[in-house]
Amino acid sequence: MRCAACGEPAAPFAFTNGYTIAFDDDWGVGVTVGREQAEAFAQDAYATAALPEHSIQNPILLFAPHDLVGVATRLRPFMGQLGTTPGVDLPDSHNAGDFGAFLLGAPHARAVTAEELSERTDGHMDIDAVRAGAVVIAPVKVSGGGIYMGDMHAMQGDGEIAGHTCDVSGTVTLQVEVIKGLELDGPIVLPVADDLPLLARPLSASERQRAAEVAASCGVELEDALPISVVGSGPDPTSAVENGLTRAAALLEISVPEVKNRATITGAIEIGRAPGVVQVTFLAPASRLARRGLEQLVRSHYGIPA
């Protein structure tokens, strides 16, 4: 991914509901600006936002937000939305179990039932690991899959706890492959190795050698395991975790308690977005991934030989 201006070059920037950020020319760092600069950006918000030619939106820059001033941060762009079309008509912003829950019994035309919401694909993840180099394995619930994307962010801490982050325009290049015969309820993410929780990172050669020695001394065979991150969503964090655990158990055909134990000692539960999108990340048995046709994909992504 790279940030790209549309038409005439514009000053590097990003915007959210409470602050305006100016970027350096290399898109590496940003600093929140004060009222005077925020109002200057607002005077030419559409050009400053570098909106794509056919984009129809009202940039938040028009409000000249400047509640935080002089705060520096790093840029690490990612896609808040990247997935497949749900099996029921949903606004893209509600294609997840948390925001989608707001539509249950809603007094308007976008209302859905719980059964209809189960046809979501969780394309609106707001998971910061969905960035350049990551792999998203998405469920297919309509003919052709219907891949879509949007909601690019310049950066975000886990949880998007403010309810928003730093939106930017940008260019995305995808490589798409079809995995036939794999039925999924929700997405699986293969983050870049640096984004894996410490305990879910593949063992180094020396670590694996020492582990093999311990296993041999205890009379057991060392398991061949590979990292995966299963996305779960729900109206609240607890429901999202339960959804992620259930999806992971179904994927690997193991019990939920086993997933809980594996995530505890070889991974982590990470919050993608509050109120209810999580990643259940852990080292999964390679033999179980092989049954679902995923072993070689995971090995290739992380450079792990058989």
| pLDDT number for residue 5 | 29
Q: How confident is the model at residue 56 (pLDDT cuts 50, 70, 90)?
A: confident
Q: Amino acid identity, residue 87? A: G
pLDDT tier for residue 17 given thresholds of 50, 70 and 90: low
Tokens of 16: 């959210």
| Euclidean distance between CA atoms 21 and 173, whole angstroms | 25
What is the 8-class DSSP label of residue 76? -
Render the burial of 158-192: b for 16+ CB within 10 Å, e for the rest.
bbbeeeebbbbbbeeeeeeeeeeeeebbbbbbbbe
CA 181, CA 250: separation in Å to the nearest integer?
15
Does 167 have pLDDT greater than 60?
A: yes
Token digits of residue 85: 């079309």
Task: Compute the average pLDDT of residues 187-211.
Answer: 97
- Cα-Cα-Cα-Cα dihedral sign, residues 80, 86, 91, 96: negative
User: pLDDT digits over 135-148, tens only?
Assistant: 999 999 999 999 99
SS3 assignment, position 196 = coil
pLDDT band of 7, cuts 50, 70, 90:
very low
Q: What is the mean pLDDT of residues 114-131?
A: 97
pLDDT confidence bin for 113, thresholds 50/70/90 = very high
State how far the Cα of 82 lies from the Cα of 79, in Å rounded to an integer: 6
Q: Give the C-alpha separation, 98 to 103, whole Å.
A: 10
Helix residue ranges per DSSP H, the chain: 35-43, 45-48, 114-117, 205-217, 237-252, 256-266, 286-291, 295-302
Give 166 or 276, the one with higher predicted confidence: 276
- Over range 51-55, report the average pLDDT: 85
Average pLDDT, the chain: 92
- Which pLDDT score, from 0 to 100, does residue 306 have? 86
- In sequence order, the 6+-apart residues with CB closer than 8 A to the CB of 242 are 232, 234
The model's pLDDT over 201-246, given as tens digits with 9 standing for 90+, comes to: 999 999 999 999 999 999 999 999 999 999 999 999 999 999 999 9
pLDDT digits (tens, 9 = 90+) for 256-294: 999 999 999 999 999 999 999 999 999 999 999 999 999
Q: Which sequence spans correspond to the domains of the chain?
A: 13-74, 193-301
Quote helix, strand, coil % in the chain, to nearest 5. Answer: 30, 20, 50
The per-residue pLDDT for 8 is 32
- Which residues lie below 8 Å from residue 32, measured CB to CB, with a gap of 6+? 19, 20, 21, 22, 66, 68, 69, 70, 71
Position 3 scores a pLDDT of: 30
Q: Which residue has the higher pLDDT, 14 or 154?
A: 154
Percent of the chain, pLDDT > 70?
94
